[in-house]
Amino acid sequence: MKKMAVVTSTRADYGLLKYLMRQIREHEATELHLIVTGTHTNPEFGYTLDEIVADGFQIDNTIEIHTVDDTATGASRGFGDALTGATQVFEKLLPDVVIVLGDRYEILAITVSALFSGIPIAHLHGGEVTSGAFDDAIRHAITKLSNLHFVASNAYKRRVLQMGEDPKTVFLVGGLGVDSISKTKLLTRSDVEKALGRKFLRKNIIVTFHPVTLQPKSANEQIHELLQALGELQDTNIIITLPNADPENRVIRDKIKQFCEQNPNAASYPSLGHRLYLSCLHFCDGVVGNSSSGIAEAPTLKKATINIGDRQSGRLKSGSVIDCDPTAESITRALNLMYSKEFQKKLPGAVSPYGGPGASDKIFNYLLDIKYTQIKRKKFFDLSFEA
Output DSSP code: residue 300.
G
**Domains of the chain listed by start with CATH number:** 2-174+358-374 (3.40.50.2000), 183-349 (3.40.50.2000)
Q: What is the mean pLDDT of residues 167-185?
A: 95
Mean pLDDT of 95-100: 97
Q: What is the mean pLDDT of the chain?
A: 94
Confidence band of 245 (pLDDT split at 50, 70, 90): confident
Per-residue pLDDT, 386: 53
Q: How far is CA 211 from CA 28, 41, 238, in A?
A: 43, 21, 19
SS3 call for 233: coil
Per residue in 113-148, pLDDT tens?
999 999 999 999 999 998 878 889 999 999 999 999
Pair 52, 36: CB distance under 8 Å? yes
pLDDT in tens, 346-385: 999 988 999 889 999 999 999 999 998 888 889 899 987 6
Q: What is the per-residue pLDDT across 21-72, written as a single tens digit (0 to 9) for each?
A: 999 999 999 999 999 999 898 888 888 889 999 999 999 999 998 877 788 8
Instruction: Report how far residue 34's alpha carbon sits from residue 6's, in angstroms, rounded to the nearest whole number.
Output: 5
Long-range contacts of 187-192 (CB under 8 A, 24+ apart): 187/275, 187/276, 187/279, 189/283, 191/279, 192/276, 192/279, 192/280, 192/283
* Cβ 314 vs Cβ 136: under 8 Å: yes
How large is the average pLDDT for residues 296-307? 95
β-strand partners of 98: 5, 121
First to last CA, the chain: 48
Determine how many CB atoms are found less than 10 A away from the CB of residue 358: 14
- Report the pLDDT value the prediction gives residue 69, as an integer from 0 to 100: 76
pLDDT value, residue 387:
42
Pick the residue with more confidence: 72 or 239? 239
